[in-house]
Amino acid sequence: MVSEQSETLSLKRDCEEETPESKRLKQGAALAPEAVPVTKTETETKTGNETETKTGNEAETKTENETEAKAGIETELKKGNEAEKAPEDFYKYPTKKKFAIMMGFCGDGYRGMALNVGVKTIEEELIKALLECKFLRPESAAELKKIKFQRASRTDKGVSAARQVVSLNLHLPPDDVKASVALLNGALPNDIVVYDFIKATKNFDSHKFASSRVYEYNCPTFAMAPTLGETWSGYRISQEVLEKVRTVLKSFVGTKYFFNYTASKSPDDPSCYRYIRSITVSEPFVVEEIEFIRICLHGDSFVYHQIRKIVGMTIALLRNVTPPGYLETSFQKERIDVPLAPGLGLVLDKVNMDRYNKKFGSDGCHTPLVWEPYENEVQKFKSEKILSVIHRKEKGESSMFNWLHTLSKHKFYTGDVLPQVLLESRSSEQAASKVLEGNTDNNQSNAPEKQNNPSKSANNDSNKAEESRLQNNPSESKENLSASNDENKPVSQAT
């Protein structure tokens, strides 16, 4: 009974369900009475609106196309103007390549190697020449970091370099390097020379890849004389004193703590530790009537002022103006006075790239950075442009001779008690100062006394009469005597 009722309900639902077709007919019947006929006017209005919309879209598209075209023209014009302003070589060699510049320079008249705005430096002259030769873009010259500019070793004011290496990216023609070298040398001053351009690896850094550096100091031998009284250009060093010089300099070989041989470093700065491989001293040689020795120092790297202070300490020890044990004390962390020798005789002789050559020099793709191919050029430039200036200026300006008189002013001793040799040195310095000052300062200082002391005035008048007599008699002239002494002394009078 129950099953029959369920079956009846199921059939009833099936009958009540609408088929898709009946559903459509029903919907159509419902809509038909409400449908409104479309008139001709409404059709034209609708078409007009669609036409206006389409026309507006086309206008907007046209405007956008015109704007893009105008921007494209302006871009092309801008490119054309830049092409007219930029040198042709920039587009002939648009890609920058990393090069090592093998160069040398005389530091006389320059405020060091590194670029320093407002003062004359070696790098300033080099950058100007590279711009003139169109090997460098102006925007790159304004910011050297963009071209990875780096020097192998920094030099101070007046310090020269016979073999220096600079690394940077250049627009350099790869097919004719010799012509590029000649072109650059023509744009450089005579005291700066480029030996070669060598293409290097992309990440080559001349400072990081420099394995060691060789400096030399050209020192007049009279600086090593035991007493100030032996200081003149005619001095000739004995073999005994020369061996003492070599013995003292050997004390600096090896790893030492050079805190007292530099500046602007704290006592605990680990960078004060430096390793010197060797120090050699040449046999004496005479140039411009002055005897010199050449001190060569080979080390991995050197701190600021280190070499000049090593030479200054050696001179102070040879002249016996330091207390016993002063050299050993100088390697401690306690700050003591170490004299700084003149910079005139210092030369960066060579930068070695052994680390780079070992890694890339034999790979078949890169040229090793060695100096042997340019040795003749290096020696010629060094002799004519560097050493000749050092020797000539030492004779003309007496750089070392004048510096020796300052040794007694250093505080090598603590307290008021000074050794006899230092007292004698100060006495000799005072005597030398009076001679160098001449009679002008003495006359000015005695002018007030002349008014207050008639006896001194009379003495001065008699002295003037004596000077007048000597001037009238050239054979007895003081000036002639002084001039004859100048042949053997770097200043007007010996001390």
- Residues serving a catalytic function are 156
Instruction: Give the H or E element holding residue 88.
Output: helix 88-92
Structure tokens at 320: 């016996």
d(CA 80, CA 86): 10
Q: Which of 304, 302, 306 is nearest to 264 (CA)?
A: 304
Residue 71 CA, chain-centre distance (Å), reads 45
Contact 213, 348 (CB under 8 A): yes
How many C-beta neighbours within 10 Å does residue 80 have? 10
Residue 48: half-sphere exposure toward Cβ, Cα within 13 Å? 6
3-state secondary structure (DSSP) of residue 338: coil
Structure tokens at 344: 């005139």
Residue 400: half-sphere exposure toward Cβ, Cα within 13 Å? 32
3-state secondary structure (DSSP) of residue 460: helix
Q: Which of 195, 172, 244 is nearest to 375 (CA)?
A: 195
Judging by beta carbons within 10 Å of its beta carbon (0-12, 13-18, 19+), is residue 158 exposed, middle or buried?
A: buried
Structure tokens at 174: 């790869």
d(CA 342, CA 400): 7
Strand-pair category, 160-170 with 346-352: parallel
Contact 410, 316 (CB under 8 A): yes
d(CA 343, CA 291): 18
Q: Which of 322, 325, 333, 272 is nearest to 302 (CA)?
A: 272
d(CA 466, CA 469): 5
Give residue for tokens 């890609």: 95
Tell me the backbone φ, ψ of residue 293, rounded to 5 degrees.
-125, 150
Residue 6: half-sphere exposure toward Cβ, Cα within 13 Å? 3
d(CA 105, CA 160): 6
